Structure 1
Amino acid sequence: MLKKVLWIAAACAAILVALAVSRSLNFDRPVEKAVEPPAAVETAPPPPPEPKVVEVPPPPPPPVERTPEEQQIQDDAAATGMTTVEPEPPPTESPPT
């Protein structure tokens, strides 16, 4: 228990020392801006931008037509939180009579 307390105290002391060092190095003050030399020669204005041709994306494909039964299955799956509906495998053998 005492070792844990000493480790925590040492960590706090290290943080306080780092804070004191950063304050003494004036990291919290903004940097002074350097004086920019005046522009010697004025350049010509850039040519006007050429108009860009906007390419129209193709229209989306039409929605898939579903039968009312398929639509009901999709609606039920969405209502119950299912993300996919797997088809039931066909019976391989006829049931015994």
Structure 2
Amino acid sequence: MGFEALIKKTIIEAFEEAMQKILSKMEFKFYRNVMNVKEAADYLNVSEKWLRLNLDSIPHFEMAGHKFNREDLDKYRLDKTGRSFRVVRK
């Protein structure tokens, strides 16, 4: 491998590594209403375990893991009378 090829390979590897770091920090930050499991659990004031155990009743979608829309979670938190409630753990 020549010197120019070695430099080119090193630059490409460094660029790809830097882009991976940037993209991992930007994950879903463009979509402020989209939350991952940890963020949704904090938003609902429940544990991540409780959230995962109750996924069948909580609105979510799957895209590289479970994702939650803030507006859907707000609707989920409203009971039939339209009053907001907090999830209470026993």
TM over 0.5: no
Larger relative helix fraction: 2
Higher relative contact order (CA 8 A, sep 6+): 2
Larger relative strand fraction: 2
| Greater Cα radius of gyration, structure 1 or 2 | 1
